A = this chain, B = another copy of it.
């Protein structure tokens, strides 16, 4: 662990400001909560305006008194999820040292996605409607990867690799019987800094 750059540089200090989400009205808050429960416990297909109304004791069209539409509702879910993810990962990096930050970050990312797979899919699948998001949430959620690597494009590659590895896990796309702990270990090893020290463990 005598890597020179590491003792001085990694993990880097956070620089992106934690974004402040506009607090939703009470009723909208309830809707978001209900939406999140339906999404996580009944699946993405069950996240329907009618089902949502049912859970809230109102009819589907009444939801439009509070929301512009389903797209906006999803955007609010993504917004909140990104901030939470950022909080979690920043915390992990805060607590890590240079030797372990990469493994800790990837482990936390994986665990977080597996804990709420449907929300993770919602956040990461398809194009991102940036105009519907609170400014800065994307940077906030992604910065831990930069703090862990110290180089923006390595950070992007690491984030992308982590995403690919976890989304395939959530979707059950690996060959049956795969030991995914080993897959993650291989990924972590690949991104460990190829400095002169040959790591052990």
Contact = CB atoms under 8 A, between A and B. Distances in A.
Interface of A: 124-128, 138-139, 142, 151, 153-154, 156-158, 160-165, 167-168, 171-175, 178-179, 182-187, 190-191, 194
21 contacts: A125-B125, A127-B173, A128-B173, A142-B175, A153-B182, A153-B183, A153-B186, A156-B183, A156-B186, A157-B161, A157-B186, A157-B187, A158-B190, A160-B161, A160-B168, A161-B161, A161-B187, A162-B164, A163-B168, A164-B165, A164-B167
A95 to B, nearest CB: 24
Contacts of A179: 153
Copies in the complex: 2
A25 B79 CA distance: 48
A165 B161 contact: yes
Contacts of A174: 156
Contacts of A124: 173
Contact of A165 (B160, B178, B183): B160
Nearest to A125: B125
Contacts of A151: 186
A165 to B, nearest CB: 4
Given A138-B175, A153-B178, 16 more contacts: A126-B171, A127-B172, A127-B173, A128-B171, A139-B175, A142-B175, A153-B182, A153-B186, A154-B190, A156-B174, A157-B165, A157-B183, A157-B186, A160-B164, A161-B161, A161-B187
A40 B162 CA distance: 27
A161 to B, nearest CB: 4
A5 B18 CA distance: 48
Nearest to A44: B126
Q: Top 4 nearest A-B pairs by Cβ distance?
A: A164-B164, A161-B161, A157-B186, A160-B165
Contacts of A125: 125, 171
